[in-house]
Amino acid sequence: MSSLADRATAGEGSGSNKPSRRVAYYYDQDVGNYTYYLGHPMKPHRIRMAHNLIVNYGLTDEVEEDAPDVEGEGKREMNDEISNGNGNHVPEHKFIKNSLTGSRSKHMQVFRPHRATKAQMTRFHTDEYIEFLENVTPETAEAMTGGGVRCLIGEDCPAFDGLFEFCSISAGGSLGGAERLNSGAADIAINWAGGLHHAKKTEASGFCYVNDIVLGILELLRIHPRVLYIDVDVHHGDGVEEAFYTTDRVMTCSFHRFGEFFPGTGDVRDVGMKRGKGYAVNVPLRDGITDESYHTIFKPVIQHIMDYFRPSAVILQMGADSLSGDKLGGFNLTLKGHGECTSFVKSFGVPVMMLGGGGYTTKNVARAWTNETAVMCGKTLPEDLPYNQYMEYYGPRYKLEVLPNNTDDHNPSEYLDKIRTQVIENLRNLPHAPSVQMRQVPTQTISQAIGLTKDNDQIDPDDEIEIRLKKYMQEKQLHGGYSPHDSDDEDIPMNGDSDHDDSTYSIPGRNRRQGGINGLPRRTLPSRLNGNKRSTNGIANGQSDEEDEDPCGITKRKKRSFFSKKHTSGIQGLVNKKLNGLNSLNGITVGNGNIVEFWKENNGNGNGNSINGGLGVVSRGESPMSIA
């Protein structure tokens, strides 16, 4: 078996004319319609500019590089055999078939991704947070965020029109690319709308709302035992590192500017914890790093990671804010140096998903992502830009280039040698590439696979009746032949619309089966079935709303929701009755049956936990920790 180093040596470099690997490119034309607000550094319009340049360079056009040369020989018959250059004869209809199926007819296959659903987003994010993103609007953001202290913190992540749709496009492209890599239908997947690496589980951060990278990695882990995440954005990929900080199946490697800079994390000593100790790699760099200095540390670190960790899939975040001249960055990389990272990772021959990320000088972002798309397709693009819809953006030279500036490089060779030595030493301490026991799990039925049914199809009415009858019979068997729905005292419908607590009908525990709990006989029915309503001693006696007591006297914990929930009319009446007209209890306001949590604002003169005057919130675009 050839080593990864051998494959890297024999791999394709930038501008190679060798046949490219199968590339799947994901783009949704609606992604450029959204805007954070006027003057915000993040502009989704840059993705549309990059796509327009990619199309006009011909990377999505049909090509026939491997078709037979028929010039001067007249028209061939369908079954004529021709030489393939090695002395072997290949039927011509093979090329016609390849052209029809698309396997050789394009540099890359272009797809419009499916929008990610709420269920897919909650594979990583909480249900409350995704529900919040779906419902928040610019008009309701102030009230729903408690004055900007939860979910959407500060001015970096505003609530703009179409926020949830924008997130679904970004996450849908990364999920679609991961699924295509898993199926083996592509070797490389590209989604320039993705790469939003700052988003956390319950809050937005650094212009990022939904972490499509984490969702894509989780999808890849269904098939691949080990996944490597490489981040060349000028900012530290804190959201992805935090998500996989305690696992050894995902290694995160971030090359970023470190110091007085957002988000302030990513020290070289941050290597993970518990089972994931050693599987978080951070390479902190200083201002003004050039192509030569960057690759003296990028290539050795990636080479050692591939040798020690041996991932079966790679996610490459190509944030363009590390380019020279970026509005918020501080590096001095050129277009060639930035694209060389892509060609080096591609040379290892493992499946790669390439994502976007930062980048706030839109014309340079479009140039960089176009060049890196061509690298993945194995093509060399001419330096003169073709005519495109946004030609005026690229003046006055109108060339595919990002030139370095005269910024001083604050990364001396001694500093880079020290960082490289420490990172490689941490990698050598890893015991081995972790192994994982995996098994094949069917993901969909045959009818779904061939398109007869879809996930969002409604349940057939006949099937719904069978489900309800099955549930009814199960309840009757669990209660010794008695079903709670058989009670004559009160009519409880079978469709689950009752306002009573369903825990009364749960499976009895061992103590209850062997004689009851707290003196309750085994065959005695719960008090609620004898006409007595459920006790609310937990609220009437002034206990916390997190505790409740069931009819058997067992105290149980109730999960507290992050946002207020709509209660049924039965619970509303119960609460209003038991509170006897009280308007507040233990800091909880009750009005019309809705429980709402107050957010009190500190003026900064007290304990230092101020919202407006005390401890400040680190901002990606508006604080002195960023270079404007």
Q: Residues with catalytic annotation?
A: 198
Cα 475 to Cα 71, 167, 465, 505, 527: the distances in Å are: 78, 42, 15, 8, 18
Give the max Cα distance, the chain.
Answer: 101
Nearest CA to 589 among 603, 600, 604, 601?
600
- Vertex 402, ends 301 and 337: CA angle to 5°? 15
**3-class secondary-structure state, position 433:** coil
- Using an 8 Å Cβ cutoff, are 248 and 434 in contact? yes
Q: Long-range contacts made by residues 100-105, C-beta under 8 angstroms, separation at least 24?
A: 103/22, 104/64, 104/65, 104/66, 105/62, 105/63, 105/64
Query: What are the start-end ranges of the H helices in 163-261?
Result: 163-183, 212-220, 238-243
What's the full length of the chain, in residues?
Answer: 628
Residue with tokens 């995160």: 252
How many CB atoms lie under 10 A from the CB of residue 183?
Answer: 9
Q: H helices of 198-237, where? A: 212-220
Give how far the C-alpha of residue 9 lies from the chain's centroid of Cα atoms, to the nearest Å: 32
| Cα–Cα distance, 228 to 230 (Å, whole number) | 7
CA separation for the pair 309, 226 (Å, rounded)? 8
Q: Which two tokens stand for residue 347?
A: 């040379």
Kindly state the tokens that stand for 276: 């994931």
